[in-house]
């Protein structure tokens, strides 16, 4: 069980009741998140296929991030590099350092298995805060260019500026932040 307590923020592993709590919380802010997503995350956590890190504030879910033990797609696939996936902080809890606290835990877990951790971040403006946070935390673009729907985009290829248009980053734990 992951656990970290800092002031009013508790960082812990996902529990089954988080599924409904997240579906409700995201619906309240008009973001559609299917319960299947959270059921899958919980089941994968139970099988040790994914770590699911939850932020809780005053007994309410505030955000989550997941960590895969190995990158499944992109430039780091099949290289035994953990990947941080799907960081979300509910709107009412944003700009309070919660994303960074969850990242601290995800990175600590990744460091137990590898000298590196990877992630992909979307390119549209909705990902602006995440893009800035990752760079400030020492993540560097890998140099493979833009990826779309799990495939590296060729120069001048057509794509859509949606959640599947991403840039991959890598953090080397051996270098100083």
Domain assignment present for 60: yes
Domain assignment present for 74: yes
Domain assignment present for 28: yes
Distance CA 97, CA 25 (A): 19
In the block, residue with structure tokens 């890598």: 170
CATH number of the domain to which 59 belongs: 3.40.630.30
Domain assignment present for 85: yes
pLDDT for res 144: 95
Q: For the chain, how big is the Rg over CA atoms in Å? A: 16
Domain assignment present for 177: no
Q: Which domain holds residue 111?
A: 3-172
- Indicate the pTM of the whole model: 0.93
Count of domains in the chain?
Answer: 1
Domain assignment present for 168: yes
Domain assignment present for 163: yes
pLDDT for res 90: 96
pLDDT for res 8: 83
Q: Which is nearest to 87 in space by CA: 116, 117, 58, 120?
A: 120
**In sequence order, which residues have a C-beta less than 8 Å from that of residue 129 and are 6 or more positions away?**
94, 99
pLDDT for res 153: 96
Q: Print pLDDT tens along the chain (177 aa).
A: 667 677 789 999 999 999 999 999 999 999 888 999 999 999 999 999 999 999 999 999 999 999 999 988 999 998 999 999 999 999 999 999 999 999 999 999 999 999 999 999 999 999 999 999 999 999 999 999 999 999 999 999 999 999 999 999 999 999 765
Domain assignment present for 89: yes
């Amino acid at each position: 069980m992951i656990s970290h307590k800092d002031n009013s923020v508790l960082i812990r592993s996902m529990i089954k009741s988080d599924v409904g709590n997240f579906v409700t919380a995201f619906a309240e802010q008009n973001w559609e998140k299917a319960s299947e997503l959270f059921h899958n995350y919980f089941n994968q956590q139970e099988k040790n296929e994914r770590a699911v890190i939850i932020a809780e504030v005053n007994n309410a879910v505030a955000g989550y991030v997941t960590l895969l033990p190995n990158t499944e797609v992109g430039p780091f696939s099949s290289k035994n590099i953990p990947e941080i996936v799907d960081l979300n902080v509910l709107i009412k809890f944003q700009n309070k350092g919660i994303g960074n606290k969850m990242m601290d835990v995800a990175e600590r877990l990744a460091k137990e298995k590898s000298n590196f951790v990877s992630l992909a971040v979307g390119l549209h403006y909705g990902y602006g805060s995440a893009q800035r946070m990752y760079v400030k935390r020492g993540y560097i673009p890998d140099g493979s260019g833009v990826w779309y729907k799990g495939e590296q985009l060729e120069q001048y290829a057509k794509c859509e500026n949606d959640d599947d248009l991403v840039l991959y980053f890598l953090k080397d734990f051996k270098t100083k932040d």
